[in-house]
Amino acid sequence: MAHLWRGVIEEYRDRLPVTDATPVITLGEGGTPLVRSGWLSGIVRGDVWLKVEGDNPTGSFKDRGMTVAISIAAGEGAKAVVCASTGNTSASMAAYAASAGLTPIVLVPHGKISAGKMAQAVMHGAEVIQVNGNFDDCLTMSRGLAEHYPVALVNSVNPMRLQGQKTAAFEIVDALAATPDLHVLPVGNAGNISAYWLGFKEYAEAGVATKTPTLWGFQAEGAAPIVNGAPVLHPETIASAIRIGNPASWHLAVAARDESGGRIAAVSDAQILQAQRDLASRDGVFVEPASAAGVAGLLAAAARGEVEPDQLISVTVTGHGLKDTETALSGIDSIIDSVIEVDVDAAAAAAGLA
Ligand code: AN7
């Protein structure tokens, strides 16, 4: 039976703050694959599923929130939209703004955005403003712009973003026809963990889900304000998407952690890069570094014997590996294995077949 996935607003309209008058700005986001990870399942002696959010239209989970935020902004007559970003929010906002005919204005930390994400914002027609500061400075500025100038703010402090992003939790429960015991994901500005908690709670309260999962969030060691219990003035990590020192949804994330009986912990850049390589080479799922933080955290917990066996576990991998090929390849000694002449036997020898 033919079925066209209609994007998260139409698929979950009755659970989203839209009306019949809201123009639906969609690129077909959501409906992303849930891929079983055999090696992770083996390591934790449970059943581990990856929610592959890099398969969204602009390559990250941000599209779920952006379809709702941009639709609402367009419906309210906005002409321009603004966000601060480590790269994915700006790529997503620029695409949805282009589709809606709005002017996208992007504030990013100078020199700290991957080339792929920058290309997306530029190609979608954004006014890209590089700021000599970090993400947190950009967010302060973007709030200031929205307060004093005719431009709508679509960072995740806009509650419409979390409303859209909660649909990922719905999809996991719908696809598994069960509620995970544990859900794991990266944490940066802390909107997504807050949104998942909204979604899981809503499904449980509506009786669609039988329970809520425990939530485990992972920050990068050099950008772990929630773990440290204090803002990080100069956050540093190779996972540029989560290089954030003062998350906007800090309190919501802590509430999600505590209400779910979960944890927010830190992983090192080395653990992140190893998890990224393992996901790519063992599961065939290529994610960007930040996206591997959840898997890195799950592995670290398993190594300490902290993962109970026989659990149903979902792990969100948040963005596509093609977003940042430079970082992915930075840890690889040589990306060219061999250069040969046009000769089958030489190819066989180079490939180790002969
Ligand atoms: C791939 O784009 O904050 O904890 O400005 O791009 O909801 O912030 C990106 C965040 C995880 C963290 N994985 O999610 C931005 C931005 C990827 C990301 C996160 C981000 P939140």
Residues facing residue 48 across a β-bridge: 313
> How far apart (Å, rounded) are the C-alpha atoms in residues 9 and 31?
11
Report the pLDDT value the prediction gives residue 318, as an integer from 0 to 100.
Answer: 98
Report the pLDDT value the prediction gives residue 1, as an integer from 0 to 100.
Answer: 67
> How far apart (Å, rounded) are the C-alpha atoms in residues 197 and 257?
9
The values of phi and psi at residue 348, to 5°, are -60, -45
Residue among 232, 280, 220, 226 nearest 253 (CA): 226
Q: How far is the CA of 238 from the centre of ligand 1 (A)?
A: 14
> How far apart (Å, rounded) are the C-alpha atoms in residues 89 and 107?
10
Cβ–Cβ under 8 Å, residues 275 and 48: no
pTM to 2 decimal places: 0.97
Q: How far is the CA of 340 from the centre of ligand 1 (A)?
A: 42
Provide residues with CB under 6 Å of ligand 1. Answer: 60, 85-89, 186-192, 241-242, 288, 290-291, 318-319
**Mode of pairing for the β-strands spanning 152-153 and 263-267:** unpaired
Residues facing residue 51 across a β-bridge: 34, 316
Both tokens assigned to 44: 């934790």
Contacts of 273 by beta carbon, 8 Å cutoff, 6+ apart: 238, 289, 292, 331
User: Atom of ligand 1 at shortest distance to CA of 186?
Assistant: 11
User: Atom of ligand 1 at shortest distance to CA of 87?
Assistant: 2
Query: Residue 155, CB half-sphere, CA atoms under 13 Å: how many?
Result: 28
Report the pLDDT value the prediction gives residue 330, as an integer from 0 to 100.
Answer: 87
> How far apart (Å, rounded) are the C-alpha atoms in residues 185 and 256?
12
Instruction: Check residue 307 and give left, alpha or beta (phi > 0: left; psi -120 to 50: alpha).
Output: beta
Contacts of 131 by beta carbon, 8 Å cutoff, 6+ apart: 107, 108, 109, 110, 137, 138, 141
> How far apart (Å, rounded) are the C-alpha atoms in residues 336 and 304?
37
pLDDT in tens, the chain (354 residues): 678 999 999 999 999 999 999 999 999 999 999 999 999 999 999 999 999 999 999 999 999 999 999 999 999 999 999 999 999 999 999 999 999 999 999 999 999 999 999 999 999 999 999 999 999 999 999 999 999 999 999 999 999 999 999 999 999 999 999 999 999 999 999 999 999 999 999 999 999 999 999 999 999 999 999 999 999 999 999 999 999 999 999 999 999 999 999 999 999 999 999 999 999 999 999 999 999 999 999 999 999 999 999 999 999 999 999 999 999 998 777 667 889 999 999 999 999 998
Q: How far is the CA of 119 from the centre of ligand 1 (A)?
A: 17
